[in-house]
Amino acid sequence: MISGTVIVGTGQAGFQTAASLRTEGYQEEITLIGEEPHIPYQRPPLSKSFPLGAQEVESIELRPKRFYQDHQINLLVGERVSAIDRAAKQVKLESGAHYQYDKLVLAVGARNRTLSISGADFDEVLYLRSLNEAVIVKERLNIAQEIAVIGGGFIGLELAAVASTLGKSVTVLEALPRLMSRAVAPVISDFYRELHTSKGVKVVCGASVRKIEGSSGKVRGVLLNDGTRLPAELVLIGVGVTPNIELAQNAGLHTANGIAVNEYLQTDDENIFAIGDCAEHPCEFASARIRLESVQNAADQAQCVAATIAGRRNVYRALPWFWSDQFEVKLQMAGISNGHDCTVSRGNAEGRKVSVFYFKESQLIAIDSINRPLDHMIGRKLIANRIRLTPQQAADESVDLKQMANSSVTSRG
């Protein structure tokens, strides 16, 4: 029986694996299987431009339908993989079909963490991850006037910005003392609190949500543990995700905070890879095993695995980068700032142009930039190539970062 590569998951990582395998000259069969009913599409616009009405569904498709035929990619949508039989090298579908593989790529993503508070089951309490969910969010956003967003991370804040732009009255409820606190430094959190507040969004940090209140099947508001009542007809929840590890777990593969993989993105079965949001991988830029949820991580890991499968075994070592669009401001992030022991700013937050440079043991490890795109792009080179840069130089705008990035002296030697 003909086998080839089976890819489970039609998100950015699954799509890119299939596309890159063909670019790499891979000649065997490629089968790309996804649960969602849609052909692969981009997820980032779902919390940004898509609900604003700026984009049609077709415009967020990663490639038109024809692409899969043209590149001999067997695309199966609306199909759920129920089990992996490692001994037989087969995946089994819920529909009863099974597919043989030489190499299996798990790009199974993550699902939203849900809140188990009272009232979380009202129809007007929504989560956002898939296109189908985005279509509903968009529809309800147009109807509701008062909106509560639970979670002041990227998704919550992007949705808050969209709702506010649509003229809605918006409250953001964040449990921690500041916004996006797991990802960015206080100066960035403060900037975004100020930005949202200036647009009329009410931001409540340290908010502990007791319940979502309603009557006659309709949401009326959110009650906090301190007794505060916030009126809302629609509640949007963005409190993080849980990686989809069950398929791997049930196949006896090692899992932790994600499906565990080595530096080649291989699980403990050498014929099975895991990439994207579901994969816990060693990251040299974090000096730790981490799991990332981003387009960059999905696309670069896919490219790496495609090369390996095509015969060019490849260690994964791409620099992580991220972005977030809120109102007219783009936040660009390079590197992993966890564990930093020093930060300095370049530019100033009042002028709405600022970058924060994060250092750990005198090594630049990450940069977050607001309206300073050159800092971000040059920063990627500085971090990836471990260019020696002191905090003093980073803060000094007369220091030409571009020149430093193009110099060959690195602290790695």
Closest Cα partner for 189 from 385, 80, 343, 68?
Answer: 343
45 sits near another protein (criterion: CB under 8 A): yes
Q: Which residues have a Cβ under 8 Å from the Cβ of 199 and sit 6 or more positions away?
A: 161, 164, 165, 327
Helices and strands in the chain: count of H runs, count of E runs: 10, 27
Give the three-class secondary structure for 379.
helix
Exactly one of 332, 337, 343, 355 binds another protein (CB under 8 A); that residue is 332
Exactly one of 2, 56, 66, 217 binds another protein (CB under 8 A); that residue is 66
Distance CA 99, CA 96 (A): 10
Q: Which is nearer to another protein, 5 or 324 (CB)?
A: 324
Q: Which is nearer to another protein, 171 or 303 (CB)?
A: 303
Distance CA 58, CA 41 (A): 9
Distance CA 202, CA 196 (A): 7
Exactly one of 53, 64, 200, 252 binds another protein (CB under 8 A); that residue is 64
Task: Compute φ and ψ for 128, nearest 5 degrees.
Answer: -135, 120
68 sits near another protein (criterion: CB under 8 A): no
H or E stretch covering 179: none
Closest Cα partner for 109 from 277, 290, 297, 248?
Answer: 277
60 sits near another protein (criterion: CB under 8 A): yes
Min dist CB 119 to another protein, Å, is 35
Give the Å distances, CA to CA, from 160 to 21, 121, 124, 153.
Answer: 38, 21, 16, 10
- Sheet containing strand 125-127, edge to edge, reads 125-127, 234-237, 146-150, 169-174, 202-205
Q: Which is nearer to another protein, 83 or 307 (CB)?
A: 307
314 sits near another protein (criterion: CB under 8 A): no
44 sits near another protein (criterion: CB under 8 A): yes
Strand partners, 84: 91
330 sits near another protein (criterion: CB under 8 A): yes
Min dist CB 202 to another protein, Å, is 28
Exactly one of 80, 312, 317, 402 binds another protein (CB under 8 A); that residue is 402
59 sits near another protein (criterion: CB under 8 A): yes
Min dist CB 404 to another protein, Å, is 13
373 sits near another protein (criterion: CB under 8 A): yes
Min dist CB 321 to another protein, Å, is 7
Exactly one of 342, 377, 395, 404 binds another protein (CB under 8 A); that residue is 377
- Report the site for another protein in 290-309 (rule: CB under 8 A): 295-296, 299, 303
Exactly one of 380, 382, 387, 394 binds another protein (CB under 8 A); that residue is 380
Give the three-class secondary structure for 76.
strand
Q: Contact positions toward another protein, by CB under 8 A?
A: 16, 42, 44-45, 59-60, 63-64, 66-67, 70, 295-296, 299, 303, 321, 323, 325, 330, 332, 373-374, 376-378, 380-381, 402
